[in-house]
Amino acid sequence: MNKLLSKKDSLQVFLNYSVASSAFMQLVFTVNLIYFVTEAGLNPLQMVLVGTTLELAVFLFEVPTGVVADTISRRLSIIIGVMLIGCGFLVQALLANFYWILLAQILWGIGYTFTSGALQAWISDEIGEERAASAFLHATQLEQIGALIAVGISGLLASVWRLQLPMLLGGILFWFLGVYLMIFMPESGFSKPSQENKTSVQSMMITLKLGFSMLKKRPTLIKILLIGFFFGFYSEGLDRLWVPHVLDRFQLPNQRQLIMVSWVAGVKSASMVMTFFTAAIVRRFFGEKASQKRILNAILGMSALLVSAIIIFAVSGNIWLTLIVFVFISVLRDLIYPLYTAWVNYRLDSGSRATVLSMSSLVDAFGQIGGGPIIGVIAQQASIQIGLLGSALLLSPVLFFLKNNQLRDEE
């Protein structure tokens, strides 16, 4: 009975964390790009360097922080990460200077890596990996509510006072989230590895080796991580180009800052609403315990639809069709992420779970660092439309790997 209650408590904390962190992030992300330009005065090169600094921080610290989570405590790792994310957002809001903003990206990027992998490993050990896919989908569904509310609050606060206010609030609320986790977050499923006659560094190295040994025990994991690389490889180009593509292709008549923010927020809000309802449908389809075959087939089908949708988005000559297709793209991406995470999570040793999950985030970051500049050059030299078609091409290899029968051998 106590064990069942513990699982319920853990799941509730996980869902509360998911909703809160999504909302607090959106408080910041709704205004931060405008803030970088209008308040901090960043030029286009500096804007790119801000994003690159964040991705490099994630790339460098993803696996080491995963090792910390597997060696010391997933709970502690998540709490540290939440506090660092809050620090990064506060520095960014209080010091509108390029170099301080770079420091802010490093702080919140490292904070993110402390939570990435550790959060999924923690809940998987608490409720069982067979229930993890349902939990990930449920979290994705509820995150849309928090994010949707936060978009409106962020815009309202920015208009009432200054752009710094929603970022300050987001940073402070992350600290409150950290305190909430200190009080309510259980950790009954994690067993700290024995450190008898070993230093902390030696224990971490052993955990890191265990993580890499999973690649030998489960060879399919290498192909799964390769698929994760391509999911990152295509995404940065699409994220950077979709707004310029709509502006350039359809020559919207009134492109003042407020108008641009409004229609971008509208598209994002529509995506969140659609993701909320579709995640509920997909979750019912999988049931509480999702089979790996169903997960694999769902990722394959959604990836094929995603490639097709990006192509339609690039070539469409109708603005309403273009925006509807982009909403569809956003929903597909939001659904693929939790399913892919559940797929990586399958048959992992508990002692190296966070490390391996961090590897999946690492290859995604590596893909984004490599793919973004490639698509950027294509768009610069040819056209934004060709760049978007290039993004679809960069994603297409996942269809081959997903169809490979060897990936089904785990069933």
Do 62 and 358 touch, CB atoms closer than 8 A?
yes
What's the confidence (pLDDT) of residue 404?
74
Rounded CA gap, 345 and 336, in Å?
A: 14
pTM: 0.74
- What confidence tier does 220 reach under pLDDT thresholds 50, 70, 90? confident
Rounded CA gap, 360 and 214, in Å?
A: 13
What structural domains and CATH numbers belong to the chain?
2-184+208-408 (1.20.1250.20)
More confident residue, 87 or 118: 87
Rounded CA gap, 14 and 141, in Å?
A: 13
Q: Looking at beta carbons, which pairs linking 218-226 to residues 24 or more positions away fall under 8 Å? A: 218/347, 218/348, 218/410, 220/406, 220/407, 220/409, 220/410, 221/344, 221/356, 223/401, 223/404, 223/406, 223/407, 224/343, 224/344, 224/360, 224/407, 225/344, 225/359, 225/360, 225/363, 226/363, 226/401
Question: Over 60: is that where the pLDDT of 290 sits?
Answer: yes
Q: Convert the pLDDT of each residue in 24-74 to its tens digit.
A: 998 998 778 777 767 787 775 666 677 778 878 887 887 777 777 777 788
Instruction: Match 């927020």 to its residue by tokens.
Output: 265
Report which of 210, 181, 228 is spatially closest to residue 75, judged by C-alpha positions. Answer: 181
More confident residue, 69 or 390: 390
What's the confidence (pLDDT) of residue 169?
94
- What confidence tier does 207 reach under pLDDT thresholds 50, 70, 90? very low
Buried b / exposed e over 244-256, threshold 16 CB at 10 Å, is: ebbeebeeeeeee
What's the confidence (pLDDT) of residue 175?
96
Angle between helices 164-184 and 132-160 (to 10 degrees): 140
Report which of 224, 279, 251 is spatially closest to residue 22, judged by C-alpha positions. Answer: 279
Rounded CA gap, 134 and 282, in Å?
A: 9
Give the CA distances from residue 291 to residues 225, 227, 334, 382, in Å, rounded to whole numbers and listed in that order.
19, 19, 20, 44
Percentages (nearest 5) of helix, strand, coil residues in the chain: 85, 0, 15
Q: What is the overall mean pLDDT for the chain? A: 80
Question: Over 80: is that where the pLDDT of 171 sits?
Answer: yes
Residue type, 234: Y
Residue type, 229: F
* Residues 6 or more apart in contact with residue 266 via CB below 8 angstroms: none
Token readout for 237 is 């180009």
Report which of 10, 2, 93, 103 is spatially closest to residue 49, judged by C-alpha positions. Answer: 103
Rounded CA gap, 274 and 83, in Å?
A: 31
Q: Is 239 exposed, middle or buried (0-12, 13-18, 19+ CB in 10 A)?
A: middle
Instruction: Give the containing element (helix H, strand E) for 59.
Output: helix 44-71
Rounded CA gap, 209 and 204, in Å?
A: 9
- What confidence tier does 267 reach under pLDDT thresholds 50, 70, 90? confident
* Residues 6 or more apart in contact with residue 127 via CB below 8 angstroms: 7, 10, 11, 135, 189
How many angstroms separate the first and last alpha carbons of the chain?
A: 32
Do 164 and 39 touch, CB atoms closer than 8 A?
yes
Rounded CA gap, 170 and 137, in Å?
A: 24
